[in-house]
Amino acid sequence: MKKFRGIYLKNDNEITLLREAGRIVAAILEELRIQVAPGVTTMEFENLALDLCEKYKVKPAFKGYLGYPFALCCSVNEEVVHGFPSGRVLVEGDLVSFDMGVVYKGFYGDSALTVPVGRVDARAEELLSVTRTSLFEGIDQAKLGNDLYDISRAVQKYVEGRGFSVVRRFVGHGIGKHLHEKPEVPNFAPPGASRVPLQPGMVLAIEPMVTAGGPEVEVLSDKWTAVTKDRSLSAHFEHTVAVTKHGPVILSVRD
C-alpha cells in the first residue's frame, strides 16, 4: 500500500471495502440507537451488537484489542469513552454513547454516537448537538489543500466557542487494515506540530469527545473506563472519513 510520511494511502478498491465496513458499522449503530429507552441494561446492547456482527458476517474490532473485553464500548453520562457494557440500567435523562468497530474482509470500520435516554435536560441536549456538529465541522475540513490540523482546529473552535471542552487524552486516528494507523487526529490544535498536508486516499476516524465541564479525564480501576475528572457530562461522535479528490466522503453511513 502506498504511503505518505508513514500514512497508508488507500486505493479505490480498498476504499470500497472500507465503505462496506463503514456501512455495516452504521447499520449496527442504528439498530442499537433505536433500542435506547429507560429500563434497558447496557449489556443488552453488547449482546445485540454481537448478534448483528454474526448477521453481517463481520468480526467485532474491539473485542480482544489490547485486552478490551467487549465488542461494544458503552459509556454513560460522565463516562467519556471505553465504558464496559454491564447490568447497569439506563434511566430517563441519561446520555449513552456507543462506540463500535468491525472488520470486514480485513478492513476496519469505526463509528460512535451519543443517544439521549428519554427526555434529557437542556444542557445535555446542547452537549449532544455541539459534539455532533463539531464532528461535521471537522469532516468539512478533510479536503485536499488543507492540513490535517485544520480538522483539529475546526472541532476545537466550534466546541470551545460554545462553552464546552474538548478532551485531549484521546484522539482520532488513521484507519484501514488496522484499527489504529497513523496519523493521530487530535480534536485540538497540537502545539508545535508540523504540517501534514491531506492526501487523496487518507482514511481518518474523526472522533470528538466533548465535555460540559473541564477537559481532564481519568481512567477508572477497571483500566478502561475513562470519566471526566469533574464528573461533568460527556458526549462522543465518530465517523470514518476518506479524503478524496472530490472532497471528504463519510464511509460510516448506511447509504
CB of residue 125 to ligand MF3, shortest distance in Å? 24
Q: Does 110 bind Co ion (CB under 5 A)?
A: yes
Q: Does 181 bind Co ion (CB under 5 A)?
A: no
User: Which residue in 54, 66, 87, 245 binds ligand MF3 (CB under 6 A)?
Assistant: 66
Closest CA to 62 of 164, 175, 156: 175
| DSSP per residue, 104-160 | ETTEEEEEEEEEE-SS--HHHHHHHHHHHHHHHHHHHT-STTSBHHHHHHHHHHHHH
CB of residue 220 to Co ion, shortest distance in Å? 20
The helix/strand/coil state of 203 is strand
Helix (H) or strand (E) holding 46: helix 42-55
* Cβ distance to ligand MF3 smaller for residue 10 or 236: 236
Q: Does 82 bind ligand MF3 (CB under 6 A)?
A: yes
User: Which residue in 62, 104, 188, 237 binds ligand MF3 (CB under 6 A)?
Assistant: 62
Q: How many CB atoms lie within 10 A of CB 141?
A: 19
Instruction: Respond yes or no on whether the N-terminal peptide bond of residue 215 is cis (omega within 30° of 0).
Output: no
Q: Does 110 bind ligand MF3 (CB under 6 A)?
A: yes
How far CA 199 is from CA of 50, 180, 213, 236, in Å, comes to 35, 18, 35, 26
Q: Does 99 bind ligand MF3 (CB under 6 A)?
A: yes
User: Which residue in 102, 154, 205, 249 binds Co ion (CB under 5 A)?
Assistant: 205
* Cβ distance to ligand MF3 smaller for residue 97 or 232: 97
Q: Tell me, what amino acid is at 93?
A: G
Among residue numbers 191 through 230, which ones bind ligand MF3 (CB under 6 A)?
A: 205, 207
Number of residues that bind ligand MF3 (CB under 6 A): 13
Give contact residues for Co ion (rule: CB under 5 A).
110, 205
Give contact residues for ligand MF3 (rule: CB under 6 A).
62, 65-66, 68, 73, 82, 99, 110, 112, 173, 205, 207, 238
